[in-house]
Structure 1
Amino acid sequence: MTPPSPLFRWSAVLLSLSLAACRPSGAPVDRRTPVVIDTDMGSDDAMAIAFLLRRPDVEVKAITVTGAGLAHCEPGVRNALRLLALANHPDIPVACGRTTPLQGSHAYPDDWRQQADILNGVPLPEPRFSASASTAVQVLTSALEGSERKVTVLALGNLTNLAEALQARPSLAERVEQLYVMGGAVTVPGNVGDSPGVNPPNPYAEWNIYVDPEAAARVFETVPAMLVPLDATNHVQVTEEFLQRFEKDRQTAEADFVYRLLASDPDYVRSGTYFFWDPLAAASLAVEGIVTFEPKKVRVVVEEGESSGRTQEAETGHTVRAGVSADRQKFESAFLDTLNGRVHVP
């Protein structure tokens, strides 16, 4: 092989020096994944947020609350701020969005919303900062456009805020590195059923999509999603055995808070119908291999009726990567290790 010429070697040296000059001396490269969390601030949302705030490989840039989901706007925002105070991240901006779906009037039962407003009565410290004066759409837009790198979005509630932001500024789709959505039930029954206030009963839809089907349809046609539906979350049930294990393994304030949330409703745990919905979506973002994804074409039913909000496979649907299963053991280990501060990134 012919050795490079002196001119070539000097050019390479000059290029290397030029690139080095562009970076402050000794400045570390931030390899954390920038994330925006859009949430309806139910108790499992709070667990998912606490999990991500403990991840050393994740940078939460903003939290936007949907006022049309589980918690009402004011208590939802306040609980998010209190959770940030607990995790010592008080400077992350928090804002709330509109209080109604884009279309229709689907809503969670009133007593569910009241319970979400108080986070099951589990105590948290007082907020150290106030909510942002901007709207959720404005905060979401600013976080996406202001980041040096594309941002991963984690949606843990109805997709109203995200749909509004994308409608107002379609170019935001290009700023999304990845969109993870906890929502839907593709090949399994939904969880809306005959809940109070649901008329007619709906055996097909999952709550996050049901509350605002129009928003979900708009988002899926705009941004390719990593969908974490009931098909995957059904594999990560909250069990008494796990709760007993967790009781003995809570070494941080965040771990203790999440344990208390899970333990606040023992009847729910014993019922066998309590699952790690939002925490699994958060874990799938941070830990490879916990959820198995497969490409599927999914259509959201926006029309009223017993199928409203259903996420069904259809040739005319939009392509998503949908979770079809989850590794329960791997999830539980990652969940406890992260909350207890045992995760370290080189």
Structure 2
Amino acid sequence: MPTRIPVLIDTDVDFDDYMAMLYLLMHPGVNVQGITVTGSGDVHLSHGVRNVNDMLLLLDDPAIHATPVAAGARAPMIYSNTFPYDARKAADEHYEAEFPGSNPKPVIRDAVSFLKDYLRSCRQPVTVLCIGGGSNWGRLFQQAGADPELRRCCQQKISRIVMMGGNLLPRYVGEERGAEGNIQPTLGDQPYYTNKVAEWNIFIDPLGAQYIFDSGIPITLVALNATQQVPITQALVEQLAAIDNAPARFLTQVLNSSTIAPGIGKYLDFWDPLAAEVLVDASLVHTERFTLRVEQQLDEEDDHSGELIPDTDGAVIEVAMSADRERVYTEFLKVISQYTA
């Protein structure tokens, strides 16, 4: 049998994180080794840890139920950016969707301690899917900067990082290939930010993202340039609703929730699930190599923090610039539909 890809997932448990996590948990070629939760992102930390543990019950597999879930950052490494109140409340309440119950034996660890222990003991290099604000891995790599043994361990034991985040603006790559930031379309009434250039995951914790970029580990950044080509459509929701299993029913409830449904076909894209699919099959996107840094400076009147800036002194990053839309949809539905319990 082919070797299953060992994977660590870092998540802020947004609606599309559920799509990504369930895709990887159900994929026959993937072995999810642990899930770290960040409270610097959409969900509040305690709610996110509980929600991920309960999500595992959607799959009828005791080994999956025992997947370690680690509680990580309660705040970003820099600033205090946060999602709007309504978005966080919806994430905390798992978008009105129902879990089968409460996980009776949750395995809960501290995120950075769990990651250190895992990397020191694992025998096979692991792939990381980073679909949160980057605060957990940023803290680990910050510590690795002052700990040569931990730094060597990270570089030897992590084969690559697939990270959903960021965008290359039109002024850097041209109008046809560029992507504007996605802060403004999802703000609602509060909180108020002036940032028009960043993507949410990077905006939440630009310092955490910079530490990840500077880790020396190969990174594939699934940016808005690619995800904007794969919108979440009503047709996709209907195809998902036609699948008769617990994960599909849960995801359909999430997408039909009062918070998420209004954005279907408008401003919601296949953000995190595209990153999860790219982890398994890189041919779903076209990547280009850039040297990038993350803008750290905050200006409340004209904020550019979190902007990805091409810079010859930056980190070398493979950036997904386009995606094969129909193949992405087909692959996602295939994996979700194969589950029969």
2:183 to 188, 192, 214: 192
Match 2:98 to one of 114, 120, 123? 123
Is it true that 1:269 corresponds to 2:260 in the alignment? no
- For 1:20, the equivalent position in structure 2 comes to none
Is 1:256 the equivalent of 2:249?
Answer: yes
- Does the 8 A contact of 1:95 with 1:131 survive in 2? no
**1:294: Cα distance to partner?**
1.1
Structure 1: gaps of 5 or more residues: 1-28
In 2: Cα distance, 1:338 partner to 1:288 partner: 16
| Kept after mapping to 2: 8 A contact 1:252/1:341 | no
Query: Alignment RMSD, CA only?
Result: 1.8
Aligned pairs (5 A) from 1:156-195:
156-168=131-143, 169-171=150-152, 172-187=154-169, 188-193=179-184, 195=187
TM-score, normalization by structure 1: 0.86
What are the ranges of 5 or more consecutive residues in structure 2 without an aligned counterpart? Answer: 144-149, 170-178
Cα displacement (A) at 1:131: 4.1
1:54 pairs with 2:26: yes
256, 278, 281: which one aligns with 1:284: 278
Taking a change above 3 Å as real, the CA distance of residues 60 and 82 of structure 1, as seen in their structure-2 partners, is same
Shift of 1:197: 4.7
Against the structure 1 CA distance between its residues 138 and 338, is the aligned structure 2 distance closer, same or farther, given a 3 Å change threshold?
Answer: same
After TM superposition, give the deviation of residue 311 of structure 1 in Å.
1.2
DSSP 3-state at the match of 1:59:
strand
CA contact (8 A) 1:36 1:154 kept: yes
Cα shift readout 1:201-248 (whole Å, capped 9, x = no counterpart): 111100000011011111101133100010110011011222223322
SS at match of 2:166: coil
Deviation at 1:82, TM superposition (A): 0.9
1:332 equivalent in structure 2: 329
Q: TM-score, normalised by structure 2?
A: 0.87
Read off the aligned partner of 1:339 and give its amino acid letter: I
Question: SS where residue 63 of structure 1 aligns?
Answer: strand
SS at match of 1:134: strand
Aligned pairs, how many?
Answer: 313
**SS of corresponding position for 2:70:** strand
Give 3-state SS (helix, strand or coil) of 1:322's partner.
strand
Cα deviation for residue 67 of structure 1 reads 1.3
Do residues 317 (structure 1) and 314 (structure 2) align?
yes
Partners of 1:200 and 1:58 in 2: how far apart?
38
Deviations 1:160-187 (A, max 9, x none): 1001112223232321111000000113
Equivalent residues of 2:69, 2:108 under 8 A apart: no
Q: Provide the rounded CA distance (Å) in 2 between the counterparts of 1:133 and 1:56.
A: 25
Q: Equivalents in 1 of 2:251, 2:193: separation in Å?
A: 35
Q: Distance in 1 between matches of 2:264 and 2:221?
A: 25
Q: In the alignment, is the contact (CA less than 8 A) between 2:165 and 2:222 conserved in 1? A: yes
Residue 198 of structure 1, CA deviation = 5.4
> Which position in structure 1 is the counterpart of 2:205?
212
Q: Write the letter of the residue equivalent to 1:228.
A: V
Query: Shift in Å at residue 336 of structure 1?
Result: 0.4
The superposition leaves residues 72-120 of structure 1 with CA deviations (integer Å, 9 ceiling, x where unpaired) of 1111011101111112311100011121111111111122111111121
User: In structure 2, which of residues 63, 72, 75 is the aligned counterpart of residue 97 of structure 1?
Assistant: 72
Change (3 A) 1:243 1:134: closer
Identity %: 32
Q: Is the 1:90–1:129 contact (alpha carbons within 8 Å) kept by the matching residues of 2? A: no
Would the aligned equivalents of 1:193 and 1:204 in 2 still touch at CA under 8 Å?
Answer: no
